[in-house]
Structure 1
Amino acid sequence: MSYELKSAGALSGEPCRYGRSRLLVRGPQRSLDKPYVAFLGGTEVYGRFVEFPFVDSLQTQLGLDCVNLGSVNAGLDSFAQDETLIGIARQADVSVVQMLGAQNISNPYYRVHPRRNDRFLQAHAALKTLYPEVDFTDFHFNKHLLCTLRDISGQRFEQVEEQLQRSWIERMSVLVEALEGRVLLLWLRYELDAEAGFPEEPVLVNRSMADALRPKVQGVLELRTSSAAVAQDIGGMIFGQMELPAARHMIGPKEHLRIAHALADRLSPLIRK
């Protein structure tokens, strides 16, 4: 099977920044002077390799501006620490917040990059004490770190996992409170292959974590999706010659359209008339 490989620069909606935010998000940059819905999330919300992500389709279906604040490889900390983007989301009629992986947040065991949250920066004393045999300078990405820790000791890893999940709930609760509860949580679940190290995205997020947030938000939309490889949707994507392996693991345009339809049904009653 062959694919038409195009430059990722051919995508509509070049990355942009709002105000004083340092986070690159999906364009085109929207006006904030009219009513709008805001979308905060990572690579899936951004729509990597997809010309028209579900946020664009929703704008047509809802008849209301949809501001895509999704950023490639962003995690929860990318938004929780960004006053500009929180301010934009707070002014929205409603904000859709993607439930991102629990591995990509700073926590009592380790610190992540403030914007590229998938990148490991530093182990704290608690983690060095828990795993004294590990040289943490060997790690650059959180998934690699966690897979190694789990392989060394499943029992000790349970302590790390529990702490990550507690930190995730705390951080999400603070973000929801900052948005005054006008939030629809988007839980996009899809299986990962064995090479990814974890069985499913979002990593280390489970139903009890979603349930802990339900009383604080307008609702939780849980959708099982498929990667472009599984959905046989790679042909509809736009990517460079060396990007095929990455594109296979992303959500393709058919799934983006399905997500848009599901979100339209849930968002319509929440939008101010």
Structure 2
Amino acid sequence: MSYHESDATGAEESVCRYGASKMWFRGPKRLLVKPYVACVGGNETFGRFVESPYPAILEQRLEKQCVNFGSLFSGADALARDPEIPNLMGGAEVCVLQLPPVLNQTNRFYRVHPRRNDRVLEATADLVALYPELDFADVHFVRHLTSRLAEIADARFEVVAAELRQAWGRALRKVLGSANNRVLLLWLDWDRSTMADPSYRGLTDPVQITQEMIDELSDVCAATLRLVVRPSGASDDLEDMLFGTLQQPMAEYMIGPATHREIAQNVMSAICDLE
């Protein structure tokens, strides 16, 4: 199945589903032939506006089927709740799991959409009680919500941050616990110097993944690969991406083809080290 967009907004991108999953993954749909490598993740794994995301490049270099289970706007919540993810990961010889953002998950302070985990469905009674002076009626995205909370800059935000870190860890443990194979955690960390540019503040999450959070998952994964990446708008990658005129602002926030090639090379080396 595909979704289609006009020339003004961009080229067609193919999406598909596997088994009982409710998530839309990067297409075209593949026949899963064992042994295969499962590449699970969000926007970067999906590779929006990129003809050959890193799973496709990895397949060429490993000479082994590498299936792209990247799903746009997904997070820890979608991965932990989806009924098919355990089967897709469990059937693979090796899994590459792109670490999801800390913000994109349901927790005791807000609920997110079950598949588009970047969208807030509602603030809970706990959040309203914690921030009685705020009106959450016009807040629809998790980064907008948490940024508003962080701007107040008092001890209350650390309560929210601690809840998000704990919920993230629980969700990832559930996902990793269902994968009866070797899992390589892929930590794509935005370049700090780029994030200092006001043009890219929209990529900066008030609560970010830390090494301590990764260390707490070390007993349920085979290895972790941390790569520092830059959005295409801050590099020479933008001109090699596929997007329509109205999509350029979104494309500038995505990683480009050169970065996908770099990720594939590093992931290949990390997988070879597991053998």
Note the 1:136-151 alignment, pairs <5 A.
Answer: 136-151=136-151
Deviations 1:180-199 (A, max 9, x none): 35211000011434365577
Question: Quick check: 2:95–2:181 contact (8 Å CA) kept in 1?
Answer: no
Q: What secondary structure does 1:9 align onto?
A: coil
- 1:55 maps to 2:59: no
- Structure 2 residue aligned with 1:8, among 7, 10, 20? 10
- Structure 2 residue aligned with 1:206, among 205, 210, 214? 210
- 1:265 maps to 2:265: no
Where does residue 251 of structure 1 map in the other structure? 255
- 1:220 maps to 2:221: no
Deviation, 1:86, is: 2.2
Where does residue 28 of structure 1 map in the other structure? 28
Query: Identity over aligned residues, as a percent?
Result: 39
Judged with a 3 Å threshold, the aligned counterparts in structure 2 of structure 1 residues 110 and 10 are, in CA distance, closer, same or farther, namely closer
Which letter does structure 2 place at the counterpart of 1:238? L
Question: Quick check: 1:97–1:185 contact (8 Å CA) kept in 2?
Answer: yes
Judged with a 3 Å threshold, the aligned counterparts in structure 2 of structure 1 residues 197 and 148 are, in CA distance, closer, same or farther, namely farther
Question: Quick check: 2:146–2:206 contact (8 Å CA) kept in 1?
Answer: no
Deviation, 1:157, is: 0.8
Which letter does structure 2 place at the counterpart of 1:260? A
Which letter does structure 2 place at the counterpart of 1:264? M
Which letter does structure 2 place at the counterpart of 1:66? C
Distance in 2 (alpha carbons) for counterparts of 1:50 and 1:227: 13
Distance in 1 (alpha carbons) for counterparts of 2:145 and 2:92: 37
Q: What secondary structure does 1:103 align onto?
A: coil
- 1:81 maps to 2:85: no
CA-atom RMSD in angstroms: 1.9
Question: Quick check: 1:21–1:82 contact (8 Å CA) kept in 2?
Answer: yes
Deviant stretches of 4+, over 3 Å? 5-8, 191-203
Where does residue 120 of structure 1 map in the other structure? 120
Distance in 1 (alpha carbons) for counterparts of 2:205 and 2:87: 28
Deviations 1:54-74 (A, max 9, x none): 000000111111111101111
Which letter does structure 2 place at the counterpart of 1:42? G
Deviation, 1:33, is: 3.2
Distance in 1 (alpha carbons) for counterparts of 2:52 and 2:21: 24
Distance in 2 (alpha carbons) for counterparts of 1:222 and 1:80: 22
Distance in 2 (alpha carbons) for counterparts of 1:249 and 1:265: 27
Deviations 1:186-232 (A, max 9, x none): 00011434365577469521111011112221000000111111222
Deviation, 1:10, is: 4.8
Q: Which segment drifts farther, 46-55 or 72-81?
A: 72-81
Distance in 2 (alpha carbons) for counterparts of 1:154 and 1:142: 19
Question: Quick check: 2:16–2:26 contact (8 Å CA) kept in 1?
Answer: yes
Q: What secondary structure does 2:37 align onto?
A: strand
Question: Quick check: 2:34–2:91 contact (8 Å CA) kept in 1?
Answer: no
Q: What secondary structure does 2:29 align onto?
A: coil
Q: Which segment drifts farther, 59-68 or 198-207?
A: 198-207
Q: What secondary structure does 2:15 align onto?
A: coil
Deviation, 1:32, is: 1.3
Deviation, 1:268, is: 2.4
Judged with a 3 Å threshold, the aligned counterparts in structure 2 of structure 1 residues 202 and 229 are, in CA distance, closer, same or farther, namely farther
Question: Quick check: 1:181–1:216 contact (8 Å CA) kept in 2?
Answer: no
Q: Which segment drifts farther, 207-216 or 55-64?
A: 207-216
Question: Quick check: 1:18–1:85 contact (8 Å CA) kept in 2?
Answer: no
Deviation, 1:26, is: 0.4
Judged with a 3 Å threshold, the aligned counterparts in structure 2 of structure 1 residues 163 and 88 are, in CA distance, closer, same or farther, namely same
Deviation, 1:241, is: 1.2
Question: Quick check: 2:53–2:257 contact (8 Å CA) kept in 1?
Answer: yes
